[in-house]
Amino acid sequence: MEKDTVVNIKIEKAETSKINEVDFSNLSFGSVFTDHMFICEFKNGSWQTPTIVPYQKLSMDPSAKVFHYGQAVFEGMKAYKDDQDDVWLFRPDENFHRINKSSARLAMPEFPEDYFFEGLHQLLKLDKQWIQKGFGNSLYIRPFVIATESGVSASPSAEYKFIIICSPAQSYYAGEVRVKIADHYSRSASGGFGFAKAAGNYAGQFYPTSLANKEGFQQVIWTDSNTHEYLEEAGTMNVFFRIGDKLITCPTSDRILDGVTRKSVIQVAEDMGIKVDIRPIKVSELIEAANNNELKEIFGSGTAAVINPILGFGYQGDKWELPSMNDSYATAIKDTILGIQYNTIEDKYGWRVKVD
C-alpha cells in the first residue's frame, strides 16, 4: 500500500461490533455492512480531514445535488484473506485511478491518492475480522463520491463526500446466465460517459434489463449506440467470445468501462498461450460462428465473479445455446486469477497488494 506520506485520519471506533449478528454462511450480496466507514468531505475548494466512523446513516438536505442531477460515481473492489490471515487487495491502484477518471468526467474533484490508500488501509485494519477466509469469501469494498451541496440549480456541486463502505461477500454465483443482445436500447453513447463508473449508467440499464428478464434473459449485452451492430459489454461485466481457439473482446472506448478484470483476463490468457484479439466484433460474426459451431464460449469478466460463463444468447427473437466445454478457457483463466487473489499461487505480475 502507498505509505510515503503521513495522512492524519480521525478515527472514531464503534463501541460494539455487529459481527456476532451476522450469519456468514448465508449472506445475500451487498446487504450487510461492516462496523466502520471512511468518510471525507470536500468543501471550500479542498478535501477536509478524512475520518473513519462507525457505520451510520447520512444526513443531507433534500435539495442536495446528487438527488437531482446524479453527480455520483463509485468503485467496486475486494479484499481477500489467505490461510495465514493476511489480507490482500487486487490491483487497487486501478480502482483508485478509475474513480478519479469517473469523477473528472462528472465535473467532480479528484481524490488524493494518499487519503484513499491510507483510509482504505486503516478501514480494513479495523474491520479485518469481517473478512472470512476460504476461496470465494471476500470483503466487497465500495468507494463512492456524491454531490452534497444543497440547492436545485443545475450546476456542479461545490461540496462532496467521498465514502468507503465494506460488505462481506460469499462466493458469487450468478446462476445460469443467458443474455439478450441489445438492438434498440443503449447503455451509453459516443461522447458520453459509459467509461465512467457513474450511478446514472446503471439507472439507465435497469428498465431495458427488466424487459430482457421478462423474455428469460438474465442480462443484456449492449451494442454500440450508433448502429447496434457491434458487441460491447454486458450489464456489469466486460465480455469475451471464444471463436475457435481465439478469444475476442472489443477495445475499450468512451462507451465502455475499462474493467480491471478484463485487462487481467487478457494478460493471463496471453501468458497461457491463448491468442486474444482486441478488436470490434459484430453481432453478425457471432451469429455466424454460432451457426457454424465455431462459437465455443462466451463469458463476462468483472470483480463480482471474476468470470461468469454465458450459456446462451438471444437476438431479435432467435436464441442460441452454447456447447459445454471440457477445456474451457473461462475456467482456466478464472483459476489463475483466483489463485493470485487468494495468495495460493505466485503473482508474477505484482497485482496482489498486502494490507498490513
Positions in the binding site for ligand PLP (CB under 6 A): 76, 233, 236-238, 257, 259-262, 301-303
- Taking the least distance from each CB to ligand PLP, the nearer of 126 and 164 is 164
Give CA–CA dist 50/264, Å, rounded: 31
* Least gap, CB of 224 to ligand PLP (angstroms): 15
Q: Name the residue type at position 50.
A: P
Cβ at position 65, least distance to ligand PLP in Å: 23
Minimum Å gap between C-beta 301 and ligand PLP is: 6
Cell numbers for 291: 451457426
Query: Minimum Å distance from CB 145 to ligand PLP?
Result: 16
Residue number, 148 or 249, with CB nearest to ligand PLP: 249
Pairwise CA distance, residues 42 & 49, whole Å: 9
Q: How far is the CB of 225 from ligand PLP (least distance, A)?
A: 14
CB nearer to ligand PLP: give 131 or 237. 237
Nearest approach, Cβ of 204 to ligand PLP (angstroms)? 11
Q: Minimum CB separation from ligand PLP for residue 154, in Å?
A: 26
Residue entry with cell 465500495: 142
Question: Based on CB atoms, which residue is closest to ligand PLP, 137 or 201?
Answer: 201
Using the minimum distance from each CB to ligand PLP, give the nearer residue, 39 or 260: 260
- Name the minimum Å distance from CB 286 to ligand PLP: 18
* Comparison of 149 and 297: residue with beta carbon closer to ligand PLP: 297
Cell of 191: 461522447
Q: Which is nearer to ligand PLP, 121 or 262 (CB)?
A: 262
Q: CB nearer to ligand PLP: give 259 or 309.
A: 259
